[in-house]
Structure 1
């Protein structure tokens, strides 16, 4: 026992070589540091709780002083706020720019591009009566504007030769329709506000058709990764011009507008149980100056949700007539959450069989909630579930 007692005492002496005063001092300092850390923790918790309450009270005061808002709860406010933010971000960040493969077909209401139009375009027109040829020369543009999100402009000019109905035909059909006879495009000039082009285009045109011709020149901004923006346009009505000799013109750019190039008879049917929508392309009415055997006509139907293309189908190719009959129905699967936000785009193309890269846009229409006149057809479809609703719509380009 004596051996074990002496061993314990020696170990105690080794472990605690300090006096009692030092031991109590260390213990007191430790307790003081613990109390200090506990106070800091309580202070931080108090700050966090007070800041959280102030944020909530600030948001409630904004609604409290609104004279038109009553009985607004915190939960309703946060739900509204986050929903609006998500919708805004989805429109801004969705990959809608990928729709350029429709040859600028899904051009979302040119109103979005109605920025301030400035600049002018110089061009010349000449009709060679001997060879029955119309010659259009794009010379230069001046003082072009830059689109809001871009620091530079890469301009080019798209030229369309439009043929319209005569006044007698217009009175009979009660519609002013145009047909795109020819379409050309100049080279684009990189980073220039006053580009020089010097590109010349020509086409065969009968002299009696000259009064029905409108030359439409669109100045566009080339975009490699998105659809080309439009900076303005100039129109020249050949009925009021003498172009037996080369006529050089300098015109200010105007806000672009669309031309009616035909009509399409569409049927819509929505089946909520199976979450499907049926789009029927029944008939297409359009003007054509080419012989019937030189081209074919077809329609492409795309479903777009928040500017993102979800589905696309196309009809079979038909020989165009004054009224081309298709009678084809395409089915798309759309959940209830998407049917309220989607748009249906019907784009009509023409092409010459056997020729590559001959596809040309001839007209387009967009259907969906909030699309002006087309909204009526959409509303009728939603009211008459499981029943096809047919309606004529105008095609524009």
Structure 2
């Protein structure tokens, strides 16, 4: 009999009580056997429970889903498809970018090859091309007309249209207008209307100058094309200068000409001024805010000036009311930000002209004018557009920069009469 069977018999007898009372040695043997036998069973149970825990957990989750398993499979398939599409798009974008970089690199190489080539080979045999060179910028062309009436001593300059203008804005377009004057007298300067977002504007505007035959022979008509910008300096696109001494006045001149670079020896720049206009029709109130000026002409020996601004209203070209700002000492870029209000009934607004002039203050001698502009229904160019924008946007301030003109230019265009007193219309400063 083996030892294991003997232990079983002894335990059975002890439980049944067939051999009488148990001895202490038998009790100890029974405890040892029980503990020894129970240990491997427990470990086996734990191992079996660990091996089946994970599959049971996953099965439980799948069993608790609120929808059939095929829906889950469809969602997983759709997700995989979306990921695949995104990966394909990323690959396509990368290839496209790589291709564009390659084209750009090839274009740069071509440009280098062109620069290395000889000028004669690039521009060909045309005399005009050889004159301007291979690096000449194309500024566009202008169609104009000239007509002189000797009996009336009137020269009429027609600005017909422009084409192929140089783009000056970031969007690849421009806001062109044309400035016309006669040099060297430059007694009058006219401006066409501004045409928005175009490189081929159609103007069809005519301007008349009083010029005698003797002055005509020593004059040059200047037509400058500008790109309009409300809050910064207007950039010049190009210009035409026609020597009037060589023109045959027996017939009307009408022709296209290419715009050229502006001359660097242009008449002196008088600077610019920024003003804001606001009109309230219901209350009949016109508000003029003089904001600032820049690049003014130096009037003092020290290379500076003491500028102030005079704001004047004229009704039916008769002097009416005026106000002036404070004086800014020793500066060519004064900042004012001063507001003036005038009572102007709605039925008078089309008969009113606003004259804004910049003066240099002198405590000893007479104050000198530094520049001038006027706005109203009889104005032209940027001044007329600013006035029209104010009327088109009632109760809203409209600000804009303006290039200062000489007092002679403004006075020859807007001839003001003596002061007219109107007690019902009161001007006040705020």
Q: Which structure's relative contact order is higher, taking Cα pairs within 8 Å and 6+ residues apart?
A: 1
TM-score using structure 1 length:
0.38
Rg (Cα) greater in structure: 2
TM-score using structure 2 length:
0.36
Structure with the higher strand share, 1 or 2: 1
